[in-house]
Amino acid sequence: MPEQSQPVFIADTCVCGLSVLKSLWKSGSAAEAVFMADYAVNPLGVKSDREIASVAERWIEHAGRHSDILVIACNTLSIRYHQLQPDGAPAHGLTRIVTMVDCLAALVKTEALRLDGRRVLIIGTAFTASQPLYPDIIVAALPDTRVRTIGATGLERAIARFQLSEDDMDDLLDPALEAALRETDVALLACTCFPLVRAELEAKFPGVLFLDPGEYCAGLLTQDGQAGNRKLSIRVTGDVVPRERVTGFAKTYLGSDSIVTL
């Protein structure tokens, strides 16, 4: 395969899209990346369709300044992008746009044997949980799979804004989410924030298989084979969290000092 000639541009409404980049780096992809933590539009799920479409256009524009590949690491925007662009056609000179919808579809294809006929719970924000797209993708491929969705917006916001401590986990796992997980075989983490607490969830619910769609992004990108030369540029918008908090977290979470801010 040809090598990637440009950085991969990854955008999310918070720092949590770095969970997708961590999976890419683990697989040897996207050695050079630009990440935008677009806190200025967080929370996105409460905005109008016009506002969400405008954010998509802005992310595409920003991506085009740095790369020909955009990874939309936000489930809300991924769902709306697929609703607005059902053919998935690249726009504005980009050669590829990969969304979390694409990642979930790749997960379903790869993990079909572990999902087929099982009780599957999709955990997302209230917006993601309200949309039929993810259940439809699963049931279309695996008709015998029983799929439910549940929103965990409170947990998402606490993680995204660095407001979560170990002592808070039990308080943020509301009774409805706990009950749903106790009746689940497989849980899909349909928000990029939730992989950051995956270990805690696995410890609390050992009988549940937790899967992260972001881990399947690498299979949708060209492998560049430069995992030893990683470089990340970060842009943070808005004033929800300090830029230094995001870059400090990125260095710790990704285990890399080759991080600069834009």
DSSP string, 190-258: -STTGGGGHHHHHHH-TTSEEE-GGGGSGGGS-----TTS-EEEEEEESSSS-HHHHHHHHHHHHT-S-
Work out the number of other CB atoms within 10 angstroms of the CB of residue 56.
22
Extract the tokens encoding 176: 């409805």
- Give the confidence band of 3 by pLDDT, cuts at 50, 70, 90: very low
29-43 b/e (C-beta count within 10 Å ≥ 16 → b): bbbbbbbbbbbebbb
- Give the confidence band of 14 by pLDDT, cuts at 50, 70, 90: very high
Range 182-198 average pLDDT:
97
Interacting residues of 125 by C-beta distance below 8 A, sequence separation 6+? 43, 45, 75, 76, 151, 152, 153, 156, 191
Q: Is the pLDDT of residue 229 over 80?
A: no
Instruction: Express as a percent the part of the chain with pLDDT over 90.
Output: 67
pLDDT in the model for residue 167: 63
Q: What is the pLDDT of the chain when averaged over all its residues?
A: 89
Q: Is the pLDDT of residue 34 over 50?
A: yes
Distance between CA atoms of 180 and 116, rounded to whole angstroms?
Answer: 19
- Give the confidence band of 173 by pLDDT, cuts at 50, 70, 90: confident
Task: List the single range of 63-72, 121-130, 211-220, 227-236 with lowest mean pLDDT.
Answer: 227-236
Q: Is the pLDDT of residue 132 over 60?
A: yes
- Which of 134, 102, 110 lies closest to 220, judged by CA? 102
| pLDDT per position as a tens digit, 179-188 | 999 999 999 9
Nearest 10 degrees: CA dihedral of 150, 156, 157, 159?
Answer: 160
| pLDDT per position as a tens digit, 48-107 | 878 888 898 899 999 999 998 999 999 999 998 888 776 655 556 788 899 999 999 999
The structural domains of the chain, ordered by start, are 8-99+216-261 (3.40.50.1860), 103-213 (3.40.50.1860)
pLDDT in the model for residue 92: 63
Q: Which of 36-45, 106-115, 148-157, 249-258 holds the top average pLDDT?
A: 106-115
- pTM of this structure: 0.91
pLDDT in the model for residue 154: 86
